[in-house]
Amino acid sequence: MAGMKPQDEIEGMLCGQLIATHRAVMECYRRAAIGKQTFEGWRGSLNQASKLSRTYAALAETLGRHRGKGQQRITVEHVNVHAGGQAIVGAVTPGLRSDQKLEEQSSATREIAHEPGIPMRSSNPERETVPVANGARKAPV
């Protein structure tokens, strides 16, 4: 486990599971290699080893993703821009203009994201209206 160098508790648990799974796989292969064994015993050991090997691969992939090695990378090789079209080549952050200050951008995002809702009517007309989810406004029926 020291060779795997876990960085946090999650990595420690995954490394422990990897070690235990590897040990179980090797035990299944050892049992399959026993000379005087029935066909069913041999097949059962190999089936278990196969399942455990897939589990080991999934755990190793999970550990890699947790460590940040599982990020996808997309490469665009050809860009066609037809007459009247526009294209940007480079890193683009959606929703931000380059001429805005950071404070203006964050407040503009909050203003756009917040749209007060209209209270819903109650199914019982004698009762008050149902308040908006955040409880900001109530209106009579």
What are the phi and psi torsion angles at 44 (to 5°)? -60, -40
Residue 134's identity, in one-letter code, is N
On whether the CB atoms of residues 30 and 22 are closer than 8 A, the answer is no
Q: Which of 40, 42, 19, 23 is nearest to 32 (CA)?
A: 42
How far apart are the C-alpha atoms of 60 and 19, rounded to whole Å? 11
Q: How many Å apart are CA 112 and CA 109, to the nearest integer?
A: 5
Which pLDDT value is given to residue 57?
95
Indicate whether 127 pLDDT > 90.
no
For residue range 84-99, what is the model confidence (pLDDT) as tens digits?
887 776 766 776 565 6
Q: Is the pLDDT of residue 58 over 70?
A: yes
Residue of higher predicted confidence among 60 and 137: 60
Cα–Cα dist 21/14, whole Å? 10
Rounded Cα distance, 2 and 8, in Å: 13
Among residues 94, 102, 25, 109, the alpha carbon closest in space to that of 59 is found at 25
Indicate the range of 26-35, 72-81, 95-104 predicted with least confidence. Answer: 95-104
